[in-house]
Structure 1
């Protein structure tokens, strides 16, 4: 959706499954359909997922191929195509728990793993920011911050602003700018940016962005300082897959309930469509004092 090149997407998917496969724990991947028109490379992306799921032998549920094979893509057929129906995913969660003993717990042996570091606690003004799900310590980038991890690559920015603001990271050879809105967001960085001895961070007053940001409006750029939670960086090492100790397999038998409950699901889809106006109204007026009060009651009850 953000014009990330397919090579970067593949590298990120590979790194994810490589890391997951080397941890001695059960892993099951849910391969979801990508149905919205704004998704680019959607067929290629899911094929890349399958490539590395099978290479590292992880357990998985291929919901994408199941929908296509059984002609039930319309199970996604309401306004918000970015997410599966909550009812279907709740039922799938129950099935995964019921069959938990079937999943593999082996771990692959990989040499010279990448070293990942989460940088936070920068030395500027700080504030705490929270909502019903998250509580973060935010650094307000009011001064120039220096980074000391020479030789590391920046691969992500975690931000949570009060309003639209832009961060600028610059080194002797590169400059990178990225926007953040008032959502708690992680920004994947595709631009190759290596930290050197002259790498600094500052809040930018220019609305230029090196890469796009979801729901960022450059025409409403504020004067507020960028709210930086953390930087995600990596020291690149050469790795080699020494031994595969996993025996993962496909678990599409867990999806049989969808066909058996087709009538119930179709009724649920109809209900979701008919109630979309209420959802949109609440989303549009989420700062209304009455709606905020109702959400507070909901949190107390749940």
Structure 2
């Protein structure tokens, strides 16, 4: 998740950035409204933190501007001097999601950021899910089929971005913006490497949701139905083997392995054996009937 900090106090901004990065956020810092407008013009931010008293204007005016433009990204106002009840009410009525007087403990600030990020899903399960994958944004815990899955920070961040948009395409640019700040040196294949490693972790843990690559577009996390393809495959295999076993030309021995190997997508090994056994039983019945009729 990417955060924009708009504050002329370099020391304060640096401390916030350190706290956010330790909690797996990506953070950018600007000092003026002009720089803030430029930043949101080239990057997509999940949360914005802004001081009210800025060198080129009032941060509250920018909040109103962002809301008039249709932005729904959470905005938190932080102010060292304008922190009275009247100021806080004014800020919240202008469209801010929170109004925080300075100073504030950094752990509380991070908790407030996580709280506003949860608000769109406040009436739903706070744990994000896709297939048998569960991700808790608050604890950063990933579980597959109920079992904890530990992954490096980068892969966890990639999973969060994909699972928040499960079933929808996430472009490479969106992933880059959410994972790297302007200061980061990003290699040309960094996203591909991150996706490759994440796939390895999920496959190794037995995840049923898969990451599909859309060439030239991006990636989509899709939750697969474990049994969606197995019944049609069983029917197809039974029919094909029945034809092969009923043949008088001895083709069954060579055709059955080819038919079994040609199932796409392939079912799990145990399901494959069960399908083949059921198909053979049906086929033998058909074969016996054919031989009886011929006699």
Q: Which has the higher contact order (CA 8 A, sep 6+)?
A: 1
Which has the larger strand fraction?
Answer: 1
- Higher Cα Rg, which structure: 2
Provide the TM-score with structure 2 as the length reference.
Answer: 0.22
Provide the TM-score with structure 1 as the length reference.
Answer: 0.22
Which has the larger helix fraction?
Answer: 2
